[in-house]
Structure 1
Amino acid sequence: MQAAAATKTVRTTCAYCGVGCGVLATPAVDGSVAIAGDPDHPANFGRLCSKGSALGETLGLEERLLQPQIGGVPATWDRALDMVAARFSEAVADHGPDSVAFYLSGQLLTEDYYVANKLMKGFIGSANIDTNSRLCMASAVTGHKRAFGADTVPGSYVDLEMADLVVLTGSNLAWCHPVLFQRLAAAKAARPQMQVVVIDPRRTATCEIADAHLAIAADGDVALFVGLLNALVKEGAIDRDYIERHTLGFSDAARAAQTMSVRKVAAETGLGEAEIGDFFELFVRSERVVTIYSQGVNQSCSGSDKVNAIINCHLATGRIGRPGMGPFSVTGQPNAMGGREVGGLSNMLAAHMALEDAADRARVQAFWRAPRIADHAGLKAVELFDAVADGRIKALWIAGTNPVVSMARSGQVERALARCPFVVVSEVIAKTDTAAFGDVLLPAAAWGEKNGTVTNSERRISRQRPFLACPGEARPDWAIFADVARRMGFEGFDYQTAAEIFDEHARLSAVENHGSRDFEIGGLSGLTEAEYDALAPIQWPVRARRDRQETRDSRFFAEGGFFHSDGRARFVVTDPPVAATLAGKLVLNTGRLRDHWHTMTRTGLSARLSAHIAEPFAELNPRDAANFGIKEADLVRVMSPQGEAIVRALITERQRLGSVFVPMHWTRRFAPSGRIGAVTHAARDPLSGQPALKTTKVTIKRFEAAWHAFAIMRARPDIDRLAGEVAYIAAARTQDGWRVELAGEAALADPAAFGQTLTGDPDAETVIYRDRKTGTARVAMFRNGRLLGALYLSRSPVEVSRNWAVMQLTLSEHDAGNRSRLLAGRGGADRPDPGATICACFSVGANQIAALVASGEATTVEAVGNALRAGTNCGSCRSEIKTIIDDVRLGLSA
């Protein structure tokens, strides 16, 4: 049980996506923590998504790294830090500053990022410091800098609510930024005339509120928005005055767009001419337009051009910086923006200064009193791990991220780390896919223990405050970096508190600024410890102390004022990429699910979050599935030259023909064969360096399993051992144990023995039913009348109610009747099957919703919510509830 640092409610900020929701955390004496949305936080006004609501369920210590380790053996902090400092110093002395690297995370706090960036760029003297934010928003950064002269997000969340038209492209807002989606849905309900257009190869949950869904072909975005620019010019919908006073390059962009007719756009995007024409007309006649873009735009070889094609349309119409208008990049991580502010990317300098600019370098070096300053861009993420693989990088420090799972071509990353002479991993969890390669493991403070700031997608700085004491020997990341810096002999790292670091960060932002740079928080310098602790959420820029109250307009560019030297924005000519030839292959699209986060190191701890989707899957169009001989619930191999994954088939009309979607979350700890990063290619945008994680060409093939199995058990399965014995395994936490999907290529001779092996109790009382003719077997294991586990085997995918079976682990004992039902895999009238979990917030199953609809008690999403609460918290399940309602009503009318 973790000790509470506070016994009262603490205002903090969510640890997940870039929405940056305020959270109220209230520790209890029993070690639990109650979580609620902060009604006063301007990002969420009290709303939370399913992941945020479940934060209290992810704070246990059972999987924590609590002590430094060297070579897998516990060590003292002094010994571990001395080794890190010595090995990095030796590498720099023997091979130069560029022989070492840091790979960081958008989940670090700004203060952590600041110290690491200062150490690497100003004292070690290399820019080899990159971050997993390279994987999510580097193309947006490049597009902003090309257009605006700085990495500026012009608008605010309130603009989404004020717009007449909201265009969502490459953004499944409902699942990836749920609270922002709730705000948009509420605004549309209040103003039904608001129009929402979703541009996405998949019909995602976001389409629930869409007036139009454009199922665009992969990488068709440039063609679509270049065609839109052409339509805006032809229809006379451009703002000549704004263009002439505040921009350059319009004539070239307009001229280049002339060839992009609606017919050509249709050919380039796979969309119909009529739906393209309707979208163009809607954009032309809607004055207040916000275009939201995220990973579907950024994770592309043409990601930077996609961003600039979008921005061009807003510049041409002057629809930027005014209420309800503008291009809007939403970030994937809680502090991707904060990392950008401190120069956490390898091609950036602190405080939005330019690494390539000698004056900026001199300014930062002088402020830091640094012995040197990096004078050229460092290695971007993919290049960085290539350099690890070929031996250029001799020492690597990974903090707060799991690149063996999340990086493009992750198999190559795994091999690179195995070859690297020295790897340091700062982590919260003791066993991750990446931690396995750490020569030194350093226990870091986790959410709830950390103290600092994060910046959300609308430039709003919020505090993360601790409400739990650091367990064991865990330390804040900034303190670890600072301690190593001092041991390397560097001065200027004598920080005692996070507030000191924030003050230095704020002061640097104001050095010789005077409005010439977009990022400035000089008005937040000089805060006392008490003022820093009490800092309310605030958008930058904060140029003077009087701006701390945030009574100003927080938008950029309504009246120009861009950050190129002449104060003008730039139109960027963008050319649509050549469409890939598939030749019998499919386009692999990867992304997030509603209830999981990145590589599941946090969300995998919550049984509730694992209940909605418990194993990796491949979402296929029915025609593609038929062409490849794949049926519902089959296991399929997804293969590319980089590697392969085995996942469950999910066949749905939501998926565009020719595409396959596989989520990114599963790791060796949960599903060894389901790691889709092993399949993705490393192609990337030539300007931003962002990997094209949504356009890998793959082949798929039905996995020919000799047997399939589903198991429930109280103890965590030994996945490392099982992975050597079975071809497919996917484990998920449940309320009182674990659920496991398995499949093998060789027949099981003794199901009972296998079941006992799963539970880890060879002497367990075993009850078995077996039908050798059909290849079916059911095994249940007991100890003193208490269920240890059950195994359901079949030659085809097992047809057992998963949620009903999982509920059996909650029973204190099983009598003869219970045992019979357990082997049958279905309950009686007294224990009805709730069905697959639809609402993770309130654990409501599909069968519960369907029964309510069939009874006539509820025929709308709102009525279901009133009866079962499903869909009334984060709202992310509303589209699934509506589908169930429609299916049941259709069945009743048939």
Structure 2
Amino acid sequence: DQVRSFDKAEIIATLKRRMDNGGTVVINQDIYLRDPIGSKYADVVFPAATWGEEDFVRANGERRLRLYQKFYDAPGDAKPDWWIISQLGKRLGFDGFDWKDSNQVCEESARFSRGNRKAYFMIKVAAHKEGKTLHQKLRELGTTGIQGPTFYNYDTGELMGSVRLHDTQKTAEQIAAEGRTKGANMINKKGTHFNSQTGKVNIQKHPWSLFSDYWEWMKPRGEELWHTNGRINEIWQSGFDDVERRAYISQRWPENFTEIHPEDAASRGIESGDRVLLYSERVPAFRQTIKGVHSSDFNFSDLLKNGWIELGKAAVTAVAIVTPHVKKGTLYSYFINEKQPSNALQGRVPDQISGNYNYKMGVARIKKIGESEYKNEFRTMSFAPRNIV
């Protein structure tokens, strides 16, 4: 049941037939066509509006709720996400998708936030008491917004936020006196306690012994240096598609790089702009996830001895940047360059407490294999110092 025609009626008939036969129709909505999800996998692509093209509410890391107001019309036929979902829901025959604007979506979702750390239901209560919508009330709060969870004093009409959670000094009497217990207000345990059996903070000291034998085995030997990696300021988070659609990023970072301390570089005959090879024959990988059945399962040396650690090899090329802002004995590279992924050099062994893989710790040898075109042509990659202090 693959689409083989540009005729709209035939396309619709084909997709209906596929669904009737138990198949899947893939729908993608995005602010521009993305490869591969939109260009290769999706059967239908809906052009979507993005922030600034529709009013919407969001919260940041400190639980601060704010209204992000529309200031620009969406291009062409692009529509907000809520409108696209609304049309899909109604055309599929479902009830409850007849929203008129983004405020109605926000007000409907507000009740599902009750009791959580970003609860905003009481903003709706306060707004309706004043004859306003939730969006209108948030608009009055400006860029400061209000920190969740929110509460409403039915006696004074005051809308209150929560500056901090886990306030163990606040008593039940104080909470009641502030009017946070009346009506639709909902108190979450996290407001005054921590999410533990006792309500007290549970601070665990990481046993160094669970880490030390891995560190001892991993530490550089001979000509090896520590190798770690991370982000580049110009590239957002995981990269998304910044590199693809922003030419200046490709110009600024045309290839992966590795930063090396001047003393380490001098002893190896490496200068900024040289093309280097980073390689390692000691890349440990845990064959499974955390075991934790026997006490020996928590020690890297025992896991290695018992055959749970596989040792691999890896090599990546990069452009050297000689800089004093990395510590002597340490190399630093960009972690998710698609062509030369430096994560290949990193150990794949999880931390026994958090369960997170320690991709920041690895070792590598480094040697010059030539000069890059960027060494003497200063139109792309820059070797100017990036350290502030």
TM-score, normalization by structure 2: 0.60
For residues 538-549 of structure 1, the aligned pairs below 5 Å read 538-544=146-152
| Number of the residue aligned with 1:649 | 320
For residues 502-513 of structure 1, the aligned pairs below 5 Å read 502-510=106-114, 513=115
For 1:559, give the aligned amino acid: T
| Number of the residue aligned with 1:694 | 360
| 1:553-583 deviation line (CA, Å, top 9, x unaligned) | 6123343521445433323343232325145
| Number of the residue aligned with 1:471 | 75
For residues 45-56 of structure 1, the aligned pairs below 5 Å read none
- C-alpha distance in structure 2 between counterparts of 1:688 and 1:485, whole Å: 40
Shift of 1:540: 1.0
Shift of 1:650: 0.9
Shift of 1:603: 7.6
Query: Does 2:376 correspond to 1:799?
Result: yes
Instruction: Identify the range of structure 1 (560-569 vs 487-496) with the bigger mean alpha-carbon deviation.
Output: 487-496
Query: Does 2:96 correspond to 1:430?
Result: no
Contact 2:150 2:162 in 1 (8 A): no
Q: Decide which structure has greater helix share.
A: 1
Shift of 1:661: 1.7
- C-alpha distance in structure 2 between counterparts of 1:653 and 1:632, whole Å: 12
Shift of 1:424: 6.1
| 1:708-740 deviation line (CA, Å, top 9, x unaligned) | 54xxxxxxxxxxxxxxxxxxxxxxxxxxxxxxx
Shift of 1:625: 3.7
Q: Secondary structure at the match of 1:446?
A: coil
Query: Does 2:139 correspond to 1:534?
Result: yes
Shift of 1:486: 6.0
Q: Percent of aligned positions with the same letter in both sequences?
A: 20
Q: Secondary structure at the match of 2:109?
A: helix
- C-alpha distance in structure 2 between counterparts of 1:533 and 1:85, whole Å: 46
For 1:458, give the aligned amino acid: E
Q: Secondary structure at the match of 2:112?
A: helix
Query: Does 2:236 correspond to 1:597?
Result: yes
- C-alpha distance in structure 2 between counterparts of 1:545 and 1:88, whole Å: 53
- C-alpha distance in structure 1 between counterparts of 2:16 and 2:55, whole Å: 24
Contact 1:666 1:675 in 2 (8 A): yes
Match of 1:663 among 330, 334, 354: 334
Q: Secondary structure at the match of 1:467?
A: coil
| Number of the residue aligned with 2:168 | 559
Q: Secondary structure at the match of 1:571?
A: coil
For residues 683-762 of structure 1, the aligned pairs below 5 Å read 683-684=349-350, 690-704=356-370, 708-709=372-373
Shift of 1:509: 2.2
Query: Does 2:176 correspond to 1:568?
Result: no
| Number of the residue aligned with 1:232 | none
Contact 2:228 2:360 in 1 (8 A): yes
Match of 2:218 among 571, 574, 581: 581
Question: RCO (CA 8 Å, sep 6+): is it higher in 1 or 2?
Answer: 1
Shift of 1:472: 3.4
TM-score, normalization by structure 1: 0.29
Q: Which runs of 5+ in 1 are unaligned?
A: 1-69, 92-394, 396-421, 668-672, 710-796, 804-834, 839-845, 847-876, 883-894
For 1:695, give the aligned amino acid: M
For 2:68, give the aligned amino acid: Q
Contact 1:524 1:548 in 2 (8 A): no
- C-alpha distance in structure 1 between counterparts of 2:20 and 2:340, whole Å: 35
Shift of 1:613: 5.7
Contact 1:597 1:665 in 2 (8 A): no
Shift of 1:597: 1.8
| 1:836-859 deviation line (CA, Å, top 9, x unaligned) | 697xxxxxxx9xxxxxxxxxxxxx
| Number of the residue aligned with 1:632 | 272
- C-alpha distance in structure 1 between counterparts of 2:3 and 2:366, whole Å: 39
Instruction: Identify the range of structure 1 (566-575 vs 480-489) with the bigger mean alpha-carbon deviation.
Output: 480-489
Contact 2:5 2:11 in 1 (8 A): no
Q: Secondary structure at the match of 1:802?
A: coil
Shift of 1:704: 4.5
Q: Secondary structure at the match of 1:524?
A: helix
- C-alpha distance in structure 1 between counterparts of 2:329 and 2:19, whole Å: 49
Query: Does 2:261 correspond to 1:621?
Result: yes
| 1:476-514 deviation line (CA, Å, top 9, x unaligned) | 34444555566776654444432223223321222xx4x
| Number of the residue aligned with 2:101 | 497
Instruction: Identify the range of structure 1 (682-691 vs 498-507) with the bigger mean alpha-carbon deviation.
Output: 682-691
- C-alpha distance in structure 1 between counterparts of 2:201 and 2:322, whole Å: 46
Shift of 1:799: 1.3
Q: Secondary structure at the match of 1:635?
A: strand
For 2:377, give the aligned amino acid: V
Contact 2:3 2:15 in 1 (8 A): no
- C-alpha distance in structure 1 between counterparts of 2:104 and 2:118, whole Å: 19
Q: 1:551 to 1:480 in 2, by over 3 A?
A: closer
Q: 1:446 to 1:800 in 2, by over 3 A?
A: same
- C-alpha distance in structure 1 between counterparts of 2:57 and 2:99, whole Å: 16
Q: 1:529 to 1:454 in 2, by over 3 A?
A: closer
For residues 94-173 of structure 1, the aligned pairs below 5 Å read none
| 1:440-480 deviation line (CA, Å, top 9, x unaligned) | 45543333324312222221112222322222343334444
Q: Which runs of 5+ in 2 are unaligned?
A: 128-132, 170-191, 284-311
Contact 1:85 1:488 in 2 (8 A): no
Q: 1:431 to 1:522 in 2, by over 3 A?
A: closer
